[in-house]
Structure 1
Amino acid sequence: MDLLKVRKSFGLSQNDIVKITGLSKSMVSMIDKGERKLSEEKTELLKSYLYQKPKADVTAMIDYLVIRFKTLNYKKVINELLKIPDFRFEQGQYGGTGYPFRVEYGEIKVFYHNTDIDMGTRLELKGSACRLFEHFLEEQNRTWQDFLSEVIDFSYSMTKVNGELSENDAQNFLKFNRIDLALDERFNERGNYNLMHLWEKVRNEQIEMKLKGFRPEENFKISEGMLKSLGISLYFGAIQSSIRLNFYEKDREQAFRRNIPVEDIQEIFGYKNRYEIRLKDDKARQVIEDFVRSIPLYDLGVGIIMDYLQVFDETGRPDRAWYDVFGRNKSYRFFTQPTEESLEKRRSWFDRQLKRSLYIEARIARETGRSYVGELVSEYQPDEEDEKIIQRDVERIKNRDFEHEARSTSEGQALLRALGKDDGQFVSETYKRIGKKSEAGRKFLEAIGENDE
Structure 2
Amino acid sequence: MRFEALLREKRLGYGISQRKLALSSGYSREYINKIEHGKERPSEKAIEKLLITLEQLNPNKELELIFDYVRLRFDTHDVKHVIEDILKIKMKYMIYEDYAFYGYIAKYEFSHIQVMISPEEDKKGTLIELKGQGCREFESLLLAQGRSWFDFFMQCEKEKVFYKRIDLAINDKAEILSIPYLAEKCKRKELKSKFRSFQALGSGKLTSEDEEQFVGTTLYIGSLKSDIYFCFYEKNIEQMIKKGIPIEEAEVKNRYEIRLRNDRAYYAIQDLLIYRNSEQTVFNIISSYITFLEVKKTKKKSKWKMDDMWAQFIGENRERIKLTTDPKPVELNQTFAWLRRQIAPTLKVLLLIDRENNTNKVNEMLNDTNLSKKHEKLLEQHTTLMKELMIHED
Residue 262 (structure 1) shift: 1.4
Note if contact 1:251-1:273 (Cα within 8 Å) is conserved in structure 2: yes
CA distance in structure 2 between the partners assigned to 1:97 and 1:203 by the alignment: 35
Matches of 1:320 and 1:91, distance apart in 2: 52
Question: Which amino acid in structure 2 is aligned with residue 185 of structure 1?
Answer: D
Task: Find the residue that maps to 2:158 and give its secondary structure.
Answer: helix
* Aligned residues of 2:232 and 2:256 also touching (Cα < 8 A): yes
Instruction: State the match for 2:265 in structure 1.
Output: 284
* 1:119 matches 2:124: yes
Mark the CA change 1:247 to 1:196 in structure 2 (over 3 Å): closer, same or farther: same
SS at match of 1:77: helix
Aligned to 1:177, what secondary structure does the other structure show?
strand
Q: Displacement of 1:223 after TM fit?
A: 4.8
Q: Which segments of 5 or more consecutive residues in structure 2 lack a partner in the other structure?
A: 1-55, 297-303, 318-394
Q: In the alignment, is the contact (CA less than 8 A) between 2:69 and 2:131 conserved in 1?
A: yes
The aligned residue for residue 68 of structure 1 is: 73
Counterpart pick for 1:130 among 120, 135, 145? 135
2:283, 2:314 within 8 Å by CA — same for their partners in 1?
Answer: yes
CA contact (8 A) 2:74 2:159 kept: no
Q: Which has the higher contact order (CA 8 A, sep 6+)?
A: 2
Structure 1 residue 301, shift from structure 2 partner: 1.6
Compute the RMSD of aligned alpha carbons. 2.0
Whether the aligned pair in 2 keeps the contact of 1:68 and 1:175 (CA below 8 Å) is yes
Q: Tell me the SS of whatever aligns to 2:306.
A: coil
The letter for the 2-side match of 1:178 is R
SS in 2 for 1:154: coil
Please say which structure displays the higher CA radius of gyration: 1
In structure 2, distance between residues paired with 1:87 and 1:294: 37
Q: Give the drift of 1:298.
A: 3.3
SS at match of 2:226: coil
1: CA distance between counterparts of 2:167 and 2:230? 10
Correspondence 1:178 to 2:159:
no
Structure 1 gap segments, 5+ residues each: 1-53, 156-173, 330-453
Residue 276 of structure 1 aligns with an amino acid whose one-letter code is E
Counterpart contact for 1:214–1:236, Cα < 8 Å: yes
1:93, distance to aligned residue in structure 2 (A)? 4.6
Name the SS for the 1:103 alignment partner: strand
d(CA) in 1 for partners of 2:275, 2:212: 47
CA positional deviation for 1:226: 5.3
Is 1:275 paired with 2:249?
no
Equivalent-residue separation in structure 2 for 1:150 and 1:312 (angstroms):
42
1:212 equivalent in alignment to 2:196: yes
From 200, 220, 231, give the equivalent of 1:246: 231
Residue 203, structure 1, aligned to residue 184, structure 2: no
Aligned to 2:312: 324
Aligned pairs for 1:69-148 (under 5 A) are 69-148=74-153
For 1:281, the aligned partner's letter is N
Percent identity over the alignment is 31
Which residue of the other structure, out of 138, 151, 157, is the alignment partner of 1:152?
157
Residue-pair matches, total: 251
Distance 1:294 1:139 in 2: 25
- What TM-score, normalized to structure 2? 0.60
d(CA) in 2 for partners of 1:223, 1:327: 41
Q: CA deviation at 1:302?
A: 1.8
The alpha-carbon deviation at position 228 of structure 1 amounts to 2.8
Q: Which amino acid aligns with 2:312?
A: D
Distance in 2 of aligned mates of 1:251 and 1:273: 7
**1:307 is aligned to 2:288:** yes
Q: Deviations 1:154-183 (Å, cap 9, x if unpaired)?
A: 23xxxxxxxxxxxxxxxxxx2100000001
Q: CA deviation at 1:224?
A: 4.7
Q: TM-score, normalised by structure 1?
A: 0.53
Change (3 A) 1:111 1:324: same
Residue equivalent to 1:194 = 178
**Residues 72 and 273 from structure 1, CA distance in 2 versus in 1: closer, same or farther, beyond 3 angstroms?**
same
Cα distance in 2 for partners of 1:83, 1:294 equals: 26
Aligned letter for 1:320? Answer: D
